[in-house]
Structure 1
């Protein structure tokens, strides 16, 4: 029998959850000789268990530039350094806590981590926002996990959105020869026609799609591979832009709630709500299939994602488990 399942085989969610649970335990400093033996037995019990653990080790070695075996050896050693109450022990555990966050993040995949944003002119961390006034008076607000370059020239006012989301309120160009204002994404170009609008491009999305919503004025969308196939989007409309085409505009009325610091749900599936919440919270948040279909409505403050998670148990028949802050599981009540 093969040691590993065929490449590309999706791992069941319970296997992934168990692998991360073992990771957190081993890095917590509370592991014992017996529990480490249990961990080894778990790895040997099924090929998928070993595949899950090897994925964590390989990804963390790539992310951290050190061997994952070395990290685990260090974590194991900390459990014998001193008593749990000693300052030395607390200091070591704080360091291991940072590695545990990286281990949970490993399951997001290398391409979904914000490497591409590190060299950007403006960027925000997950959960952060940033407001800026550009030299021409244009106001922009970057949403969570965003990266943006500013490329103003004598002939063009250009923003390059590498990933994330930006709210733009354009100003009249003070230059003697007025310049066009554009936002470029990997999907194409959005040209402002005196307007206020948002552009969202999720860097980890395989669809390579940008979402555009207009609140005042209008914009013109030009696909990257079909620049002549432009589509106009007016106030109160939204559309999607891919490298090949722009969709027909659809009506929308909602203002960008995130710019007001809130996340709004309106008869939204729990799985969809959590997918949006993940944009603002580091670590893992998983939803059991048994409760993914539940729906909720409400306004939730983005400044406190822990509060959002705990409130779910008050409005839905779900249990929210949070072994550590970087790892949350939402499932049915009493595990039923």
Structure 2
């Protein structure tokens, strides 16, 4: 589904950003309990505007890293963080203080950049649910193919074509224009293309990039502001983690890389947990291993990403595995 954010600009930049600032400040507290972190995740996934607002705040926070090196800014932040009421007050007073300190640090470096791009469109979100794939044509003739349970936000301005990958995986087919770069923001880095076709995936804190044709430039930045960069040509790929560390460039299996775009999964000597993890992405019903002895089963073959039933039949016939449904959304495997 798509959502035009231009008509909800006020809502995104007021209510959603205020809520995002509250959650960001709360999660900075080392004593934040698991139930509050779970409540945050529910809030973030309840509305695409929430995810966008929180993602923007994360980006601003990273950009503010240099600000804490300024003694004046650091002192102001410390005063905000340590401000206490004259009488003993409930712990909830800590949250506005944290938010105030956060605002000081962010504003010092990031706010001028934010204001300088205030004329840019807020963005349009496109997303898929579990088991769904969709192709979205963009205004410049480029297109994005979203895999299952994925989301992007597209922001085109006169300076750049920006796409934020918030979750999942996407394949981008980009119309070339050297004067108008196409930049995908994902994880701790950016992927810049001119005219090319490539895939980007967010998975367990890592960002995987696979280039099908053309050229790409990748850049990352760590929390201490150190930068890394790399470039790819067709048939190559790499990964980078949340700290901005880039792996060596590697050759990719083109058939395997393109398989998901055709609803297929090419598997060569995969362990069963890896196969189940990938197949589970395409279904609301999750298959889990109850017997540890099944962990080291190795499997090869071609599977339909949305055909969970055929996978279960194959496992039961080939390895004497029993599949038992234990709820509406859970199936467990045992000997």
Per the shorter chain, which TM-score range?
A: 0.5 to 0.7
Partner of 1:224: 221
CA distance in 2, matches of 1:158, 1:180: 8
Point out where structure 2 has 5 or more consecutive residues left out of the alignment.
1-33, 53-124
| TM-score normalized by the length of structure 1 | 0.60
Point out where structure 1 has 5 or more consecutive residues left out of the alignment.
1-57, 64-109
Is the contact between residue 228 and residue 244 of structure 2 (CA under 8 Å) also seen in structure 1?
no
1:137 alignment partner, SS class: coil
Is the contact between residue 274 and residue 285 of structure 1 (CA under 8 Å) also seen in structure 2?
yes
Partner of 1:182: 183
2:175 alignment partner, SS class: coil
CA distance in 2, matches of 1:237, 1:300: 24
Partner of 2:305: 302
Is the contact between residue 134 and residue 146 of structure 2 (CA under 8 Å) also seen in structure 1?
yes
Is the contact between residue 116 and residue 162 of structure 1 (CA under 8 Å) also seen in structure 2?
no
Partner of 2:235: 236
Partner of 1:198: 199
* Residue among 114, 117, 140 paired with 1:136: 140
Give CA deviations for 1:199-256 in whole Å, capped at 9, x if unaligned: 0013xx2xx2101011101211111335742101221111002242211111112332
* Residue among 255, 258, 277 paired with 1:256: 258
Q: CA deviation at 1:172?
A: 2.3
CA distance in 2, matches of 1:308, 1:137: 38
Q: Does 1:118 align with 2:122?
A: no
Give CA deviations for 1:296-329 in whole Å, capped at 9, x if unaligned: 1111112332332233223333221124441111
Partner of 1:169: 173
1:290 alignment partner, SS class: helix
CA distance in 1, matches of 2:182, 2:293: 47
| TM-score normalized by the length of structure 2 | 0.60
How many residue pairs get aligned? The number is 221
* Residue among 194, 211, 214 paired with 1:214: 211
Partner of 1:39: none
Q: CA deviation at 1:283?
A: 3.8
Give CA deviations for 1:260-279 in whole Å, capped at 9, x if unaligned: 01122111111110111121
Is the contact between residue 186 and residue 224 of structure 1 (CA under 8 Å) also seen in structure 2?
no
Give CA deviations for 1:91-149 in whole Å, capped at 9, x if unaligned: xxxxxxxxxxxxxxxxxxx7499717733600111111110111111121000111110
CA distance in 2, matches of 1:320, 1:170: 43
Give the stretch that moved more between structures: 256-265 or 217-226: 217-226
Partner of 1:26: none
Partner of 2:246: 246
Partner of 2:12: none
1:117–1:179 CA distance, 2 compared to 1 (3 A) = farther
Is the contact between residue 148 and residue 161 of structure 1 (CA under 8 Å) also seen in structure 2?
yes
Give the stretch that moved more between structures: 162-171 or 304-313: 304-313
RMSD value, Cα: 2.6
1:117–1:237 CA distance, 2 compared to 1 (3 A) = farther
